[in-house]
Amino acid sequence: MTPISMNPLALCIAGFWQGEPSQPRRRFQGEVLTSSHTRIRAGEVVSVTFCCPQQRVMPCSEHGAYILKVQRTSFPLISFLCADITSPGPACRQDTALATWFALTTPEPATTRTGRRASSRPREQR
């Protein structure tokens, strides 16, 4: 059995956030420009949400997670940063305009919409 690689995989995404930062239904929408992930290809439409236990903006001492969704599969993100924002300040809060974003994800665990782990084998090998 081959061990699962835990090296992060990079995505470059053109997109923007919809909704106010304090809204639990706030969502990022975008299109993948480049990808080193074998299960996410350039041209695919993705969404990203920030999930936290109580579905609200949390204090900095508590943690949540960014989740990238493509088709029916979800991938937890290690990092999700805007390439067009180079310094902290007011520009950081203006993320509703189309911009380039970088995401780092791991190849697994991936879950389907039903909550089951998705197969790590490419479709043609199943």
Domain ranges of the chain: 9-105
Cβ-defined contacts of 65-73 (< 8 Å, 24+):
66/103, 68/11, 68/40, 68/103, 68/105, 70/32, 70/39, 70/40, 70/44, 70/45, 70/46, 71/44, 72/112, 72/113, 73/39, 73/110, 73/111, 73/112, 73/113, 73/118
Q: Each residue of 65-122: pLDDT tens digit?
A: 899 999 989 999 999 988 877 666 665 566 888 999 999 987 765 555 555 554 443 4
Q: What percent of the chain has pLDDT over 90?
A: 36
Average pLDDT over residues 19-37: 90
Q: Looking at residue 121, what is its pLDDT? A: 39
Task: Tell me the average pLDDT of the chain.
Answer: 77
